[in-house]
Structure 1
Amino acid sequence: MDISFFWIGAGLAALGYFIGDGLKNFKNPKASSSGYPTLIKEKDLYIYLGLSKEEVKELLSKYPNAPKVELKGTTYYPYQNLLEWLSSNDIYKS
């Protein structure tokens, strides 16, 4: 009987640990450590690059091989990959 209480106590302790660990980012589950999103929609790209909408449109038409992901008809740009691509091609220096 004493051993069954031990396992119940151990189970409750493990349950408390995993629930507490899961609640760490409960209010802000999508927060990233860098403060920048992982994927940026094409329409919002100008904000993160510090360019005008026209400049971004010209950049993307001039360089169609920019790293991008298309999901359900929406084009997203991986932020870190795009910055690396821009700096490696000497297109844009941040």
Structure 2
Amino acid sequence: MEIDFFWIGAGLALLGYFIGNGLKNFKNPKGSPSGTPLLIKERDLFVYLRLRPEEVRELLEKYPDAPKLLLKGTTYYPYEQLVQWLSSEDLYKKQ
């Protein structure tokens, strides 16, 4: 009888783990595992880059070849590619 309670408890613990793990990205199902979205709108870019909006605007004006997507008139930036582009040596050579 005690063994039955053990398996019920273990099953409930696993159930709680899998439900909790599934709820991590409930509001953002297409997000990346790191918690950042895959695509960021231009107006929200300053939040993820931790810059002031003026600095982001200046950066994008200075480097119009930043990785971006234009969908239905809205500009999106792929976060992982943008961070990789910002940290690339080619960007520093252009200055």
Q: TM-score range by the shorter chain?
A: 0.5 to 0.7
Identity %: 60
Aligned length: 68
Query: Could you say if the C-alpha distance between residues 31 and 69 of structure 1 is closer, same or farther in structure 2, counting changes exceeding 3 Å?
Result: closer
Unaligned runs of 5+ in 1: 1-23
Query: Could you say if the C-alpha distance between residues 70 and 36 of structure 1 is closer, same or farther in structure 2, counting changes exceeding 3 Å?
Result: same
What is the TM-score when the length of structure 1 is the normalising length?
0.65
Distance 2:62 2:75 in 1: 17
Query: Could you say if the C-alpha distance between residues 31 and 65 of structure 1 is closer, same or farther in structure 2, counting changes exceeding 3 Å?
Result: closer
Distance 2:31 2:73 in 1: 25
1:60 pairs with 2:60: yes
Distance 1:85 1:32 in 2: 18
Runs of 4+ more than 6 Å apart = none
Matches within 5 A, 1:42-53: 42-53=42-53
Matches within 5 A, 1:1-94: 25=22, 28=26, 29-88=29-88, 89-90=91-92
Unaligned runs of 5+ in 2: 1-20
Name the SS for the 2:51 alignment partner: coil
Aligned to 2:6: none
Q: CA RMSD in A?
A: 2.0
What is the TM-score when the length of structure 2 is the normalising length?
0.64
